[in-house]
Amino acid sequence: MANCIRCGRQLPALTLGKKICQWCVQHEAAQRGELEDDVKQPVMAAPWVRGRESSISLTQILLGANVMVFIAMVIASDFSPGQLMRGFPWQLMVHFGANFGPFTLSGQWWRLFTYMFLHGDLMHIAVNMWCLWDLGALCESLYGRWTFACIYVITGIAAGIASLGWNPGTLSVGASGAIFGLAGALISSFYLGEFSLPSFAIKGTLRSLLFFVGFSVLFGRVMPGIDNAAHGGGLVSGLILGALIARLAPQIDKPGRRVSILALMCLVVLAAGFGVHRWRGSGFRFGSAGDGQGNVERRISELRAQTQKQPNDASLHNALAQAYFRKGQFPEGQSELKRVLEIEPQNTPARLELGTVYLQLEQPAAAADEFSKVIARDPNNATAHAAMGVALAHQNHYEAAIEEYKAAAHLEPKARGLYYRMGMSQVQLKQHDAAIASYLKEKELNGDAADLESALADAYEAKGMTQQAQDARNKATQLRNEQTD
């Protein structure tokens, strides 16, 4: 069907001659003064001019929910303003509901929803909320509140499934997958839909959307840590959903068609989730802490067969490493982690775990080498600095170890056991005053512990502080008795 060259509205079939709709013809005649004063120009509202739903938009509610979750994460982590730029700890994001293959594919499917409201750092949430404010308002005004809500959730879940399929071993958080879904739906609607706007306004908005998508994809390819699979999944599902609505259910006063389209898209996304689960899930279903030895051995056998079929799948090698560790086969698990790093050299969790395995195998020099690679790539990784301190202390490099502990304490002041380890290295250098201060700082931050009180007693005794040493030893004995009761 032809479209009006003025406003872009579809014209009736078999329209001949100049392709201008009747509304534009009458409007232009009125502009030239060719109509009588009492002739009324019909008012044709833009599609996004709806009835009065509420003074608070759903876009504002979504934005507020994201911000509130971010504040809750800040409170839970005791972050300082400077640390907000460096990002939340991996464990905290998993606790709050990040999309992470080993957990999501093992049955925690709710993470495909909760991950959309989590963000890794201040810049992450700032950029996403800026995009949500602009695209969300436009999408909500175009489709109406509840259709907009369904598009946001469906495309966000589709983005999470795409992320699991592409790299299930990567932790994914953020609203950007759903935001790309909104962009995709708007692109389809502006390209295929009917509007009471001038064509130049539609084309201008469409160009802006295409530029946003193109720039974001290019930026995601050159910057590490960006989940391009989630962006792609959100964009593709949004394009499909927007096209179906624009062609089959553009009228907001006919909800039956829209409900059918949204239900159909839910089934498609559900089927995609089952497909990814069958494809990727087997590598992560090796059970809980209660699994028997036979289950672990069977899982190792299954994973070894899968890694032979897909030798370049880092997530399968990582799952096999975890299975080996559960069985106590650390050298075999170590080999699998090395394979993970051959495939994904920038996989920080795998490199930290490999360094920890080296420590368990009493190879501190090799552990220090792995931790140094993490620090070189991410100088603000507190875990890497603390682990490097342990590796150096094992090699009797106590001064260097103390410096690493101090760096970790600067980045994550309340890390448990950090000041205790620092005090142990200071004792080796006979810096007893500094060691006592470190032990007391550990008590202040993380409470009493029997081993901490014993170490404190030794430091007091070395200083000749007999009474304080006896009090600390009594406290250590009391804490051990409480543990055995």
- Answer for the pair 23, 44: CB distance below 8 angstroms, yes or no: yes
**What is the model's pLDDT at position 150?**
95
Give the residue, 218 or 346, on which the prediction is more confident.
346
pLDDT confidence band for 177 (50 / 70 / 90): very high
**What is the model's pLDDT at position 11?**
61
Secondary structure of residue 350 in the 3-state scheme: helix
pLDDT digits (tens, 9 = 90+) for 120-129: 888 889 988 9
Question: Residue for token digits 């101090």?
Answer: 406
pLDDT digits (tens, 9 = 90+) for 400-443: 999 999 999 988 888 888 899 999 999 999 999 999 999 999 88
**What is the model's pLDDT at position 114?**
95
pLDDT digits (tens, 9 = 90+) for 19-45: 667 667 776 776 677 766 555 545 444
pLDDT-wise least confident of 202-211, 289-298, 446-455, 462-471: 289-298
Give the separation between CA 478 and CA 272, rounded to whole angstroms: 57
**What is the model's pLDDT at position 45?**
43
Secondary structure of residue 18 in the 3-state scheme: coil
- Answer for the pair 6, 21: CB distance below 8 angstroms, yes or no: yes
Q: E-assigned strands of 255-321?
A: none
pLDDT confidence band for 189 (50 / 70 / 90): confident
Q: How many helices (H) and strands (E) would you count in the chain?
A: 22, 0
**What is the model's pLDDT at position 301?**
83
DSSP string covering 78-141, please?
T--TTGGGT---HHHHHHHT-B-HHHHTTT-TTHHHHGGG--SSHHHHHHHHHHHHHHHHHHHH
Give the residue, 260 or 325, on which the prediction is more confident.
260
**What is the model's pLDDT at position 137?**
85
**What is the model's pLDDT at position 291?**
45
DSSP string covering 453-476, please?
HHHHHHHHHHTT-HHHHHHHHHHH
Q: Which two tokens mark 281? A: 């899930």
**Is CATH 3.50.30.10 correct for 286-345?**
no
* Domain chopping of the chain, boundaries: 1-40, 58-280, 286-345
**What is the model's pLDDT at position 253?**
67
- Answer for the pair 382, 415: CB distance below 8 angstroms, yes or no: yes
Give the separation between CA 4 and CA 47, rounded to whole angstroms: 16
What mean pLDDT comes out for the span 88-108? 80
pLDDT digits (tens, 9 = 90+) for 139-161: 888 888 899 999 999 999 999 99
pLDDT digits (tens, 9 = 90+) for 193-239: 765 555 555 566 667 777 777 777 676 565 656 778 888 999 999 99
CA-atom Rg of the chain in angstroms: 30
pTM over 0.85: no
**What is the model's pLDDT at position 288?**
42
pLDDT digits (tens, 9 = 90+) for 60-81: 999 999 999 999 988 887 666 6
What mean pLDDT comes out for the span 87-116? 83
Residue 263 carries which DSSP code? H
Q: Which two tokens mark 223? A: 């910057």
Express as a percent the part of the chain with pLDDT over 90.
32
Secondary structure of residue 208 in the 3-state scheme: helix
pLDDT confidence band for 254 (50 / 70 / 90): confident
CATH superfamily entry for domain 58-280 = Rhomboid-like (1.20.1540.10)
